[in-house]
Amino acid sequence: MNIAIRTLPGAWMQLIRAQFLNLSRTPAYTLPTLLFPVMFYAFFGLLMIPGRAQFLLCTFATFGVMGAALFSFGIAIAMERAQGWMRLLRAAPAPISGVVTGKFVAAMLFALAIVALMSVLAAGLGGVRLATGQWLALAGVLAAGTLPFCLLGMALGLWLSPSAAPAVINIVYLPLAFLSGLWVPASQFPAWLQAVAEWLPPYHLAELALHVTGTRAGDWVWSAAVLAAYSITFAAAVAFGWRRLDGIRK
Amino acid sequence: MRILTTVLLLAAALVGVFFLLPTPGSEGSGETAAEPARPDRIIAIRDVRLFDGESVIDSATLVLADGRVESAGVGVEIPDGAEIVDGAGRTVLPGLVDAHVHAFGRARRDAVRFGVTTMLDMFRPPDDLATIRAERDSTATIDRADLYSAGFLATAEGGHGTQYGIEVPTISTPAEADHWVAARVEEGSDWIKIVIENGEGWGGDLPSLDDATIRALVDAAHARNLLAVAHASTRAEALRAIAAGVDGLVHAFADAPADEAFLAAARDSGIFVVPTATVMAGAFGASGEGWLAGRERIAGRLSPEQRRSLAQAFPGAEGRTDRMPRLLDNIAAMHGAGVPLLAGSDAPNPGTAHGASLHHEMRLMADAGMAPVEVLRAATSTPARIFALDGRGCLQPGCRADVVLVDGNPLDDIAATADIVSVFRNGRRVELDPDVETPASGEVPAAPPRDLLAEADRWMAASDRYQGGRSTAVLEVHDDAIAVSGSLAEGFAYPYGGGMWSPTGVPMVPADLRGHDALVLRVTGSIDRVRLMLFSGEDAASQPFWIDLETGMQHRLEFARLAGVEAARIGAVGVFASDAPGDYDFRIERMDLE
């Protein structure tokens, strides 16, 4: 790779650029990550449970963007760390923020693509109609809402070995999605499980998506606050994980 | 930097997608079959008896243009280029209003073919209320009835309304009422519906809202200038609703006579009542289909969904037949006391069908002693006035061009409302035949008999867990039978568990089974009967056809005789235990298609 590090902003851009080059060269990762949640929505949101296309668009899109964030951060960072790339970057005068920003922008782009694909399906096959402002709000909320999941993914990536990362992230991702009522609405749960759902970050991101699309009015201030609190917690975990990097283990 | 430019362009393109996605007002896509009304489209119905929502004008002319009534009356000039419709011997009515429905799936298309052009929905998820509002503000061509809706209903946790597998935001204390109502307003509810139902009238026991919560809900609705209506099915609950200050009741009661005390309370409070005699008739063992006898013209326009819901019956209905006369007496008493009554069917409950059942309702109101003109008002101007349905239920200039043309004179015989010649919606003629596409038409060759027990990979265990219940089912495939065991648990409206066969191997993905005439079934086991469910049609996962069959004997069910089963599109066939809670096990020893 020909990375000419001239100035700090230049290096920053180069690192972001490298992220996208990496993604564009690994379609075997990129395409499944995009299509898996969309396929899930087509099967379950449109075919199996007809008539609830709009509600399920909000929850399945939450499911999709959360996955893109967790995987692009978690697994990639665990692998890059094991390859020594992280330590190399730390040792070099390269701005590590470029790597993280690049990944965050990529996760938002994934989120945008997933929401766009699902929205086209929902409008075309599910008959969903929203005002343009609502469509944009859905995309905006879900793209911004990747932040806590990016941080969670990064924290896991910093703590886990590359062989453990995919397994652990799946076991975090899928139960978190289910328990937050992204596949089956939380109100169908027994009361004690509902109480659990209300403390999980995906539940609140879905609440925001439902709120801005006018599907179901929610307490958006509370949901945004919960997501912010989680973001801070995960950011702290990232900070601790970062300190561990110094030579303790690969 | 080429790659960064690409990324930016990609992001811009993705954002652009959201600008192109359809909005509630947008037209043209398949499902929203709407196009702007052509201004040159003028229809004149001549020499017709005209009921304008209040009274009758003989030998009148009605002119419809631009989706509105342009003129109506005697001696009206017919504009050049108008399409002339002969009204001699016929009566023209405002599009009918069904004041109590639950509009799912094809409901709005099914209703409009029977002259119901406006529906007042008393509970449905509010997912698409923005679209629905945009449609009813428009006079564009559309093949569906317009809808006004309560959205979610207010009920206690586990109360009536929570049993349908639809997520309902429940309420338990007066303090939550204001927030609850505000959330409905934000979702687009047109009024607030409150459930007062402890199940007593139906031999059950349900959690229900307390008086303070009901009153707080009514006050919160009134503070926002919304009507508050109540579901109450007994005299005691109706009186509680009135005491809490509701504006109307959306069912009549028949557990007790509407005595002087009740009538005085109803009159003094100024409430209205939607008796929904049709759904009550179904719950009291009176058939939902009998009134269609001799009316082949409209019976032939029923869609499979409509036929299916008409043919269904409420469990235990036979034991309540004594309440039917009292229901009619109570309707007569309320009408006599001056309580405004609105025609409403409560479709698609068992024994009812969208659109068609409003004609049944009008007949039952006439049977109770209301004059035909009063019944017609109950289905037009009265709901329009009470629910402020602007331009509906009337045929004066400026009213919407939602019109029903019928043969004969419903002012003499209310049954004539069902003899529909044409329905106009926003000034355009509606197609009256159900537009059910069949996957293949013409003769279907007979298929060889098929032993379904041999298709092990197309069977699966199924239970009410799928809809949020707690029953279990385990299925084992043996050489000579399929064995199912499990337990039925409370927690769902009608617990079930058993086995399900799907013709394509994927549940609810339908296959054409018209090559077969019948299903043969033999089940043995620890229970006296099993419930056979046949899922079929355009929306195969919607209400299935079901029948209870005795175990220990062989049954042969001919598809042609099963009301509403579309053999052309069978999504799944289920054999379920559905009796009392507890353990069950049974063996399906034979299941063949012949």
The answer to whether B22 contacts A215, with C-beta atoms less than 8 Å apart, is no
Residue A250 confidence (pLDDT): 42
ipTM, two decimals? 0.82
Q: Contact, B229 vs B193, CB < 8 A?
A: yes
CB half-sphere exposure, B260, CA atoms < 13 A:
0
Q: Contact, B543 vs B309, CB < 8 A?
A: yes
Residue A212 has pLDDT above 70, yes or no: yes
Q: What is the pTM of this model?
A: 0.58
Chain A residue with the nearest C-alpha to that of B470: A190
Select the residue of A105, A112, A127 nearest B14 (Cβ to Cβ): A112
The answer to whether A119 contacts B17, with C-beta atoms less than 8 Å apart, is yes
Could you report the per-residue pLDDT of B270-323, keeping only the tens digit for each? 999 999 999 999 888 877 677 787 787 888 888 888 888 888 878 777 788 888
Specify the DSSP class assigned to residue B41.
-
Interface residues on B facing A, Cβ-Cβ cutoff 8 A: 1, 3-4, 6-7, 10-11, 14-15, 17-19, 21-24, 26, 29, 31-32, 104-105, 125-131, 134, 165, 167-169, 182-184, 186-188, 468, 508-509, 539, 541
Residue to test with chain A: of B2, B4, B7, most A Cβ within 10 A: B7
Nearest to B303 by CA among B141, B442, B444, B114: B114
Could you report the per-residue pLDDT of A152-193, keeping only the tens digit for each? 999 998 888 888 888 999 999 999 999 998 988 887 788 788
The answer to whether B18 contacts A105, with C-beta atoms less than 8 Å apart, is no
Radius of gyration of chain A (CA): 19
Select the residue of B23, B105, B188 nearest A51 (Cβ to Cβ): B105
Specify the DSSP class assigned to residue B142.
-
Residue B445 confidence (pLDDT): 75
Q: How many CB pairs under 8 A join A and B?
A: 111
Could you report the per-residue pLDDT of B142-158, keeping only the tens digit for each? 889 999 999 999 999 88
Weakest mean pLDDT among A7-21, B75-89, B105-119 = A7-21
Q: A131 and chain B: CB distance < 8 Å anywhere? A: yes
- Beta partners for residue B533, in sequence order: B546, B574
Nearest to B239 by CA among B217, B221, B262, B256: B262
Residue B96 confidence (pLDDT): 97
Residue B438 has pLDDT above 50, yes or no: no
Residue B562 confidence (pLDDT): 78
- Looking at CA atoms only, how far is residue B438 from chain A in angstroms? 19
CB-based contacts of A210, cutoff 8 Å, min separation 6: A55, A58, A59, A216, A218
Q: pLDDT-derived band of residue B113, with 50, 70 and 90 as boundaries? A: very high
- Looking at CA atoms only, how far is residue A61 from chain B in angstroms? 14
Q: What percent of chain B has pLDDT over 70?
A: 93
- Looking at CA atoms only, how far is residue A250 from chain B in angstroms? 31
Q: pLDDT-derived band of residue B443, with 50, 70 and 90 as boundaries? A: low
β-strand B545-550 against B582-593: which pairing, if any? unpaired
Could you report the per-residue pLDDT of B477-516, keeping only the tens digit for each? 888 889 999 998 876 667 889 999 988 877 777 788 888 8
Could you report the per-residue pLDDT of B385-425, keeping only the tens digit for each? 999 998 999 998 889 999 999 999 999 999 999 999 999 99
Sole residue written with tokens 């766009």:
A116
Residues of A in contact with B4 (CB under 8 A): 13, 16-17, 20
- Looking at CA atoms only, how far is residue B90 from chain A in angstroms? 38
Could you report the per-residue pLDDT of B193-223, keeping only the tens digit for each? 999 998 877 767 788 999 999 999 999 999 9
Q: Contact, B348 vs B539, CB < 8 A?
A: no
Residues of B in contact with A135 (CB under 8 A): 18-19, 21, 23
Residue B336 confidence (pLDDT): 95
Over residues A56-66, mean pLDDT: 93
Tell me which of B96 and B31 has the higher pLDDT: B96
Residue B355 has pLDDT above 60, yes or no: yes
Q: Contact, B343 vs B97, CB < 8 A?
A: yes
CB-based contacts of A205, cutoff 8 Å, min separation 6: A62, A65, A66, A141, A142, A145, A148, A223, A227
Residues of B in contact with A127 (CB under 8 A): 31-32, 128
The answer to whether B468 contacts A139, with C-beta atoms less than 8 Å apart, is no
Residue B94 has pLDDT above 80, yes or no: yes
The answer to whether A129 contacts B188, with C-beta atoms less than 8 Å apart, is no
Instruction: Give the N- to C-terminal CA distance of chain B in Å, as an integer.
Output: 69
Over residues A137-141, mean pLDDT: 94
The answer to whether A13 contacts B186, with C-beta atoms less than 8 Å apart, is no
Select the residue of A13, A49, A123 nearest B22 (Cβ to Cβ): A123
Residue A8 confidence (pLDDT): 57
